[in-house]
Chains A and B, each alone.
Chain A
Amino acid sequence: MIEAILLTIITAATPLVIAAIGELVTERAGVLNLGVEGMMIMGAVCAFAGSYLTGVPLFGVLAGILGGALFSLLFGFLTLTLVTNQVATGLALTLLGLGLSGQLGESFVGIPGVKLSPIVFPVLSDIPFIGPLLFRQDITFYLSIALVIGVNWFLFRSRTGLKLRAIGDSHGSAHALGINVIRTRYLAVMFGGACAGLAGAQLSLVYTPQWVENMTAGRGWIALALVVFASWRPLRVLIGGYIFGAVGILQLHAQAFGVGIPSQFLSMLPYAVTIVVLIIISHNRRTTLINTPACLGKPFVPDR
């Protein structure tokens, strides 16, 4: 039973982790994109369409990534080239994404999807308990872990990552040093979009293999909150995503088990626990400040 519960938690946490890690890179580059929900739902509809029309779920994953990335480009063009306000543009992107995905997906409603099949690692997957949890999962799970580790390495160990963080902390100085701020930010925004798209693909191909409107149901917002929760550090995104997912699943089990607490209060738990854990981990003001991108949300126009 514990194994089954853990499997459920993994499925619930994976889209949150993926979308959050993408947004984390975007924000580390100094861009605040509140359109995660919109990009995610676009990823979900593109993924379902890709999988359904080609018959190959893996193409669906690609379509989701592509859909999210292209959609984020719209945000990039507005906020980076035309320096519009990032908060408002992100929210408008969500509005647009929810409408557009509904329109695009109208003909897919009610069609049962094909679940993305797991990639089984021989030998390893036969290890009791750990095998099914870690080595018999679909590609989105492996990608989520790879993304967390990869982004962590990229941001703190690679030269380009250093530049990206420099842009987020002080775009003026980065520009003066000859770093192309706008181009890097475009790439960061598109990375965020691609990740949100992948997260959407996980929803419509793995979590619940189907397309229905608004199927993200607010998960994009949770992903945004997780970036803050993680104080912009990739490994903490993983922890946060799994805490949130686990509490959400466990409260359902508590209900089925019959604890006699009103379900509304149990449903509050994931949010309350997130706040409490945040209080515990953010008491050290300095580490929080160091990790917060100083230029987050600020417009940048190079002097010419």
Chain B
Amino acid sequence: MRIELERRAGASGLFAIVSPLLALALTLIFGAIMFWMLGKNPGHALYSFFIEPLLEVWSLHELAIKAAPLILIAVGLAVCYRSNNWNIGAEGQFTIGAITGSILPILVPQWHSVLVLPLMLIMGAIGGAVFAAIPALLKTRFNTNEILVSLMLVYIAQLFLDWLVRGLWRDPKGFNFPQSISFSTEAVLPEILSSGRAHWGIVFALVAAVAIWFMMRFMLKGFEVSVLGRSERAGRFAGFSGRRMVWFSMMLSGALAGLAGISEVSGSIGHLQPSISPGYGFTAIIVAFLGRLNPLGIIASGFVLALTYLGGEAAQLSIGVSDKVTRVFQGLLLFFVLSCDTLILYRVRVIFGAGRAPAARS
């Protein structure tokens, strides 16, 4: 038996819609088998995973909180990846954005003004952008590979934050525990609705996604991104500079990651502490590709991934599966979604026996 792919003439509109549904169906079947083998009621398990988190208002708020940083980071990464710049250090830019954004509420807590919050957000975005400029600088100036530099900078950023909140920025009244002072109310990103915790972070994420979608679709800059991403040579003929694109895409994604960082700290946590992210910067890479590097697709994939986290928790509580099982299930879901996407661009043929294979080649 052999599986062969045949490229379609164009992307299949039908399968663009059917493929996610098919993926969901396959996940449900395999998930049901897995939970059944673990001795859990499959119906109950799948219900807690996919339906329960969507039934209550507070849970929808939580979904928005979880999806916001993922979407915000992933749309920036999409621009990077489309232009062939491999920033995988968004986690570090997120961390630095959280730090620079927190300078005002921590160092000048006595300044109460409506300006505080906007300045924090801007400083967070700048911090992320500047941190992302390091791999850009090293790439354009010294040809260093941005994958390595951006990844290594993640660890450096995290250790730096650790040092800050255990030393310099430690709350003097906090029994020497590793956290900063709590932000004053002017420095806290407000909630959107009174019905839950969701703050303006999700709005930033959606606005950024639409804006970048607009840029990629209708603006010259978007065209420049795609052309340079496909071929730097072709881009040069069109008068575009690959070097400038490195700076642009890295700093844009850094700024968005930084904004996500300060939004998270200001909106959801309320102070700085050693751990501010459960790996958003890395999960966002999956979100970016799951959304096919399309900002609107990323909105959808961001929510789907957030749902699997919430669902995993719900399942742990209601049917008592371990977090390991939920991670395996998450992996399964991702695999099915990715595989079914193949159907959009290719026809799949399963060939039994030798069939009409192309002439044997070695």
Answer yes or no: A and B touching, Cβ < 8 Å.
Answer: yes
For residue A100, which residues in chain B have a CB less than 8 angstroms away from its CB? 324, 328, 331
Main secondary structure of the interface of A (DSSP, over half): helix
| Residues 137-172 (chain B) with a chain A CB within 8 angstroms | 138, 142-145, 147-149, 151-153, 155-156, 159-160, 162-163, 166-167
Interface presence of A264 (CB below 8 A): yes
Residue of A nearest to B325 (CB): A103
- Residues of chain A within 8 A of B7, CB atoms compared: 301
Is there a chain B Cβ closer than 8 Å to A21's Cβ? Answer: no
Decide if A99 touches B163 in the complex (CB within 8 Å). no
> What residues of A have a CB within 8 angstroms of the CB of B155 in the complex?
268, 271
Known: A92-B338, A103-B322, A272-B156. A83 touches B144 (CB 8 A): no
Of A56-64, A196-204, A280-288, which stretch is located at the interface?
Answer: A280-288
Flag whether B341 is at the interface (Cβ < 8 A). yes
Q: How far is the CB of B120 from chain A (nearest CB, A)?
A: 24
- Given the known interface contacts A87-B285, A262-B163, the answer about A282 and B142 at a Cβ–Cβ threshold of 8 Å is yes
B173 at the interface (CB under 8 A from A): no
- Which residue of the partner chain B has the closest CB to A100? B328
> Complex: how many Å from CA A253 to CA B276?
30
Q: Is the CB of A271 within 8 A of B339?
A: no
Distance to closest chain A CB from B86 (angstroms)? 9
Query: What's the Cα separation between A147 and B37 when bound, in Å?
Result: 40
Q: Mark B7-22, 1 if CB is under 8 A from A, else 0.
A: 1000000000000000
Q: Indicate which residue in A83, A87, A89 contacts B346 across the interface (CB closer than 8 Å).
A: A83
Chain A window 73-95, contacts with chain B (Cβ cutoff 8 Å), 1 for yes, 0 for no: 01000100111110111011101
Query: Are B328 and A96 in contact (CB-based, < 8 A)?
Result: yes
Contacting residues, chain A, for B324 (C-beta < 8 A): 99-100, 102-103, 106, 213
Most buried by B among A93, A278, A283, A288: A278
When distances are taken between beta carbons in the complex, the residues of chain B under 8 Å from A302 are: 358
Q: Chain B: how many interface residues by the 8 Å CB criterion?
A: 51
CB < 8 Å A-B pair total: 147
CB atoms of B286 and A91 under 8 A apart:
yes
Which of chain A's residues have a CB closer than 8 A to the CB of B331?
A: 92-93, 95-97, 99-100
Q: Is A221 an interface residue (CB 8 A)?
A: yes
Complex CA–CA separation, A284 to B149 (angstroms): 17
Find out whether the CB atom of B289 lies under 8 angstroms from the CB atom of A88.
yes
Contact digits for B178-220, partner A, Cβ 8 Å, 1 yes 0 no: 0000000000000000000000000000000000000000000
Size bracket, chain A contacts:
35 or more
A304 touches B147 (CB 8 A): no
A134 lies within 8 A of chain B by Cβ: no
Q: Contacts of B4 on A, CB cut-off 8 Å?
A: 304
The residue from B160, B285, B342 contacting A82, defined by CB atoms under 8 A apart = B342
Residues of B within 8 A of A99 (CB): 323-328, 330-331
List of B residues within 8 angstroms of A85 by Cβ:
289, 338, 341
User: A89 contacts B5, CB within 8 Å?
Assistant: no
At the interface, yes or no: B122 with Cβ under 8 Å from chain A? no
Q: Are the CB atoms of B152 and A271 closer together than 8 Å?
A: yes
Whether A282 pairs with B145 at a CB distance below 8 angstroms is: yes
Residues of chain A with a CB closer than 8 A to B145's CB? 228-229, 231, 278, 282, 288
Alpha-carbon distance A83/B341, docked complex (angstroms): 9
Shortest beta-carbon distance from B98 to chain A in Å: 16
* A21 CA to B160 CA, complexed, in Å: 31
In the complex the two chains form, what is the Cα distance from A288 to B145 in whole Å? 9
| Bound CA span A74–B336, Å | 12
| Least distance between B231 CB and chain A CB atoms (Å) | 11
CB-defined contacts of B325 to chain A, threshold 8 Å: 99, 103
CB of B334 within 8 Å of the partner chain: yes
| Residue B116 at the chain A interface, CB threshold 8 Å | no
Picked from B6, B138, B334, B339, the residue with its CB within 8 Å of the CB of A304 is B6
Q: How far is the CA of A288 from the CA of B285 in the complex (A)?
A: 25
Q: Indicate if B282 sits at the interface (CB-CB under 8 A).
A: yes
B335 within 8 A of A: yes
**Is B159 a contact partner of A265 (Cβ separation < 8 A)?**
yes
Which interface residue of A97, A178, A301 has the most chain B CB atoms within 10 A? A301
Cβ contacts under 8 Å, A92 to chain B: 286, 331, 334-335, 338
CA A82 to CA B5, docked complex, whole Å: 8
Distance (whole angstroms) from the CB of A160 to the closest CB of chain B: 12
Report whether A275 and B334 are in contact in the complex, using a CB–CB cutoff of 8 Å: no
Write the chain B residue with the least CB distance to A272.
B156
Most central of A74, A83, A92, A231 by chain B CB within 10 Å:
A92
Please name the residue on chain A nearest to B159 by beta carbon: A264
Do A84 and B162 form a contact, CB below 8 Å, given A92-B334, A304-B6? Answer: no
Q: How far is A178 from B322 in the complex, measured between Cα atoms in Å?
A: 49
User: B147, A283: Cβ atoms under 8 Å?
Assistant: no
For A8, list chain B residues within 8 Å (CB). Answer: none
- Tell me which residues across on chain A come within 8 A of B327, comparing CB atoms: 95-96, 98-99, 102
Task: Known A82-B342, A99-B325; judge A268-B159 contact (CB<8 A).
Answer: yes
User: What's the least CB distance linking B204 to chain A, in Å?
Assistant: 24
Residue contacts A-B, CB under 8 angstroms, 9 given: A95-B327, A96-B331, A178-B361, A268-B160, A274-B148, A278-B144, A282-B142, A304-B4, A304-B6
Given contacts A213-B324, A275-B144, 14 further A-B contacts (CB under 8 A): A82-B338, A83-B342, A89-B335, A89-B338, A91-B285, A96-B332, A99-B324, A99-B326, A180-B361, A225-B151, A262-B167, A272-B152, A279-B142, A283-B142
Pairs A-B, 10 closest by C-beta atoms: A96-B331, A99-B327, A88-B289, A92-B334, A264-B163, A102-B324, A84-B338, A271-B152, A99-B328, A228-B148
